[in-house]
Amino acid sequence: MRRWQRIWVSGIGSAYVAMLEADHGYRLQLREREANENYAETQRILSTAMSKTTMSKV
């Protein structure tokens, strides 16, 4: 079961990020405010998430 949270990341755009990915046992928690405040860290997190989970851009 996958749960998705829609976030906005400046320079990346709107994306659905896996909050819980049972297949990989990988949990990603990212709030919109934090994403906008820390762009570089957000890019790193999203890059890591994309390598471990299925993400759908909108």
Domain assignment of residue 58, yes or no: no
What is the value of pTM for the model shown?
0.29
pLDDT of residue 44: 74
Report CA 27 to chain centroid distance, whole Å.
Answer: 10
Q: DSSP assignment of 33-48, as one string? A: HHHHH-HHHHHHHHHH
Percent of the chain as helix, strand, coil, to the nearest 5? 35, 35, 30
pLDDT of residue 38: 61
Angstrom distance (rounded) from CA 1 to CA 9? 25
**Boundaries of domain holding 13:** 2-47
Which tens digit of pLDDT belongs to each residue from 16-52? 444 434 444 444 555 555 555 666 666 777 777 666 5
Domain assignment of residue 52, yes or no: no
Count: domains in the chain: 1
pLDDT of residue 29: 52
Domain assignment of residue 53, yes or no: no
pLDDT of residue 21: 42
pLDDT of residue 47: 72
